[in-house]
Amino acid sequence: MANSNKRLNKKVAIITGGARGIGAATARLFTENGAYVIVADILDEEGVRMAESIGGCYVHCDVSKEADVEAAVELAMRRKGRLDVMFNNAGMAVNEGSIMEMDIKMVNKLVSVNVNGVLLGIKHAAKAMIKAKFSFDASENAKGGGGSIICTSSSSGVMGGLGGHAYTLSKGAINGLVKTTACELGSHSIRVNSISPHGVPTEILVNAYRTYLHNDRIDAAEVTKTVAEKGSLLTGRAGTVEDVAQAALFLASEESSRFITGHNLVIDGGYTSATTTMRYIYD
């Protein structure tokens, strides 16, 4: 009875980019809800601390390298014999500037992490989920199906003008990949969805504000204040890493298992859905 309210009880999850930010918040929330979490990252010291703090384990994983992603999935299979949730959350951003000055080497590096890393995560997670599915008896399969794959996208993949060109390209590509893989993997009861955060003060966003506003003193609190005032239909409110973690928990849990796949869950306070420019017409 003690575990009856744990939404991921006995599930096994991998979170790439799990050492800090959205990944760390999700690792904590998944663990609180009964999951065993493997933190996969390139930030070894932070990753080890995070894994130890939640009773999970850490694996060094550069998602642009297929061998690293495959090794992370194999670790889950070796330790627990199954993989229920794959959260492809690792990503990066770079200082881009004008399309006319774009450095293709920089673009290729960003795509290797943001797009190829997600593709590799889906590839190896799907193989493991399908393999594990056939090792369980029919009654076990009936409880949850093949698994849940979640990918971090961005509001910039939904609406123009919210990110650099290459970053936007990468997030739009994720949204397309989620749809095609959801199509293929649905026959194995594997759901594939994405989450698109907006204005969440992660290190990537704070650094972007500092760069584009030429102010190294900008911190997470100031970014949050700006988003709450100008980047949300919910006046005075901005997103947090915990908001994104809650969205990931929903997509990982049985609550979304019946009929949600190929979906992009946008966590943006409604910003990409409407403009407040003419809100006065409702007065």
Q: Where are the beta strands (DSSP E) in the chain?
A: 12-16, 36-41, 57-60, 85-88, 147-152, 190-197, 264-267
What is the token pair recorded at 163? Answer: 């990110």
Q: Where are the alpha helices (DSSP H) in the chain?
A: 21-32, 44-54, 66-80, 104-114, 116-133, 138-144, 165-185, 203-212, 220-230, 241-252
- What's the full length of the chain, in residues? 283
Active site residue 167: yes
Tell me the C-alpha distance between 235 and 198, whole Å: 15
Residue entry with tokens 């949850």: 144
CA 216 to chain CA mean position, Å:
27
Cβ neighbours of 222 (radius 10 Å)? 16
What is residue 273's DSSP assignment?
T
Residue among 167, 212, 271, 282 flagged as catalytic: 167
Positions marked catalytic: 167
